[in-house]
Structure 1
């Protein structure tokens, strides 16, 4: 359970609320429950607004998801977002809406109970895979990170041995067939690909080992000032099947990039380092040594 503070109140924790603060819970069935603390008259009809955050340089969308906030005690209001309909993939900011024409109020974070997400097993997940993780933004507001994927390969344990790494993963929305392979694609115009045979470990589970020398042979060797080569990790469940992104989505971590830092290996003039992107997708960086 992640804790919040009482920094959004005046005159101590029992004083009137300066800004609405929300506790967020994800239960075992995947429902997202939001409990808001905000003094309002009994006749009020507040609503919870989830609005997709636009990409940089684009204007905010007018559309969003609005859910009624029901009375849940003294100065308490509650909304439940069922599993369906799913949120589109992206980041969603959360607000309270009062009467028509009133300014929307951003939510401050309270307690976040994400224990139901911690196991990361994902058993019984329907297709498409829909994931919602409440988190605190850099400016201290409550938001939701959502993923929606028709097919998905959930990264599990990553083991390291000298100049290689072994990834275990679980497949959702597809089944392994003949010619199944991990597929590493180098970003850029050439779109180079490395295919690695999978080792099935059950109906959905599999593993594969990446030899860093296969990635460093013709990438990331442009000298100390050269840009690194980035290899994105996919799986092809069969020889001619569309590729599926390998990512880690089924737990309580909304942003893995700075939380999970893996060791780098040095091979000749390059260093090789796996990492998670801003979207929690698995990738491998090959950079000139000493960069």
Structure 2
């Protein structure tokens, strides 16, 4: 009778509200090993950033555990998880990059403490981590790191307009605050909307005919920002503070026809709020 092949290791995780993530590798390894979190580089670029976490035996069921502390800074982007044996690491870098490392499949992901993350005030910088399964079935973490962030809540679409409710994190909202919709591809084409504020919470209404009139025809996209104070840097409006790593195809809003153009708010691949205008 032929021996059974070894079970493929899977990475379970538990995410905490403060950003701490506990990883459990099942099954564990007899030899000392490390968990490598590698920032996915842009197309055609080499890997340059990684974090190595020691995997220690945990419990009597053959698990190995590693912890990513909240204070560890993850740059904004997507981080892939790999298993590295002790023989393939030297200090903080693999001796042979890419050699003998194993990309890990996801196990159970306990993200319950992330679900209501938008209800808690976040200090600057706003750091977010959401574990997820990639399209090809591997474990990864989507990370955001921003000086400030405006978390979008409900979006109401009626009477040819959208009303967006949001909450500011990492900055102060002043009486001079303004919402800016910027035409993608142009730093100069901006439409301003006056928000109605209540503490850190605010709401604004954007009329679709204004977006259509300023788009100039064709297929255009408007990106949404908050300017918390006069002259302050623009803060991206998006939805990051929950357990959804990729919401573009999950949170879908209806299209509205205005002056022959189809207008639709949506979330980008980075979970930022934008409005698509398609005419002609």
Q: Same fold (TM over 0.5)?
A: yes
Q: 1:208 aligns with which of 201, 204, 226?
A: 204
Q: Which runs of 4+ in 1 moved over 6 A?
A: none
Q: Write the mapping of 1:145-160 to structure 2, written as runs, cut at 5 A.
A: 145-160=142-157
> Matched residue pairs, number?
267
Contact kept in structure 1, 2:29 and 2:64, CA below 8 Å? no
Partner of 1:274: 265
Partner of 2:223: 232
> What RMSD in Å do the two structures reach over aligned CA positions?
1.7
Q: 1:114 aligns with which of 111, 114, 124?
A: 111
Shift of 1:190: 6.3
Rounded to whole Å, the distance in 2 between the matches of 1:164 and 1:112 is 38
Q: Look up the SS of the partner of 1:246 in the other structure.
A: strand
Q: Write the mapping of 1:226-265 to structure 2, written as runs, cut at 5 A.
A: 226=218, 228-265=219-256
Task: Please identify which structure carries the higher strand content.
Answer: 2
Contact kept in structure 1, 2:36 and 2:83, CA below 8 Å? yes
Contact kept in structure 2, 1:134 and 1:144, CA below 8 Å? yes
Partner of 1:3: none
Q: 1:217 aligns with which of 213, 217, 221?
A: 213
Partner of 1:4: none
- What do the CA deviations read for 1:107-140 (whole angstroms, capped 9, x no partner)? 1111111000111334142221111000001110
Question: Is 1:65 equivalent to 2:62 in the alignment?
Answer: no
Shift of 1:240: 1.7
In structure 2, the gaps of 5 or more residues are 89-98
Q: Which TM-score applies when normalising by structure 2?
A: 0.91
Partner of 2:86: 99
- What do the CA deviations read for 1:182-227 (whole angstroms, capped 9, x no partner)? 10000124631000001012x2110000111110013152xxxx3x
- Relative to structure 2, which stretch is displaced further, 277-286 or 115-124? 115-124
Q: 2:27 aligns with which of 35, 38, 51?
A: 38
Contact kept in structure 1, 2:39 and 2:77, CA below 8 Å? yes
Partner of 2:71: 84
Q: Write the mapping of 1:129-140 to structure 2, written as runs, cut at 5 A.
A: 129-140=126-137
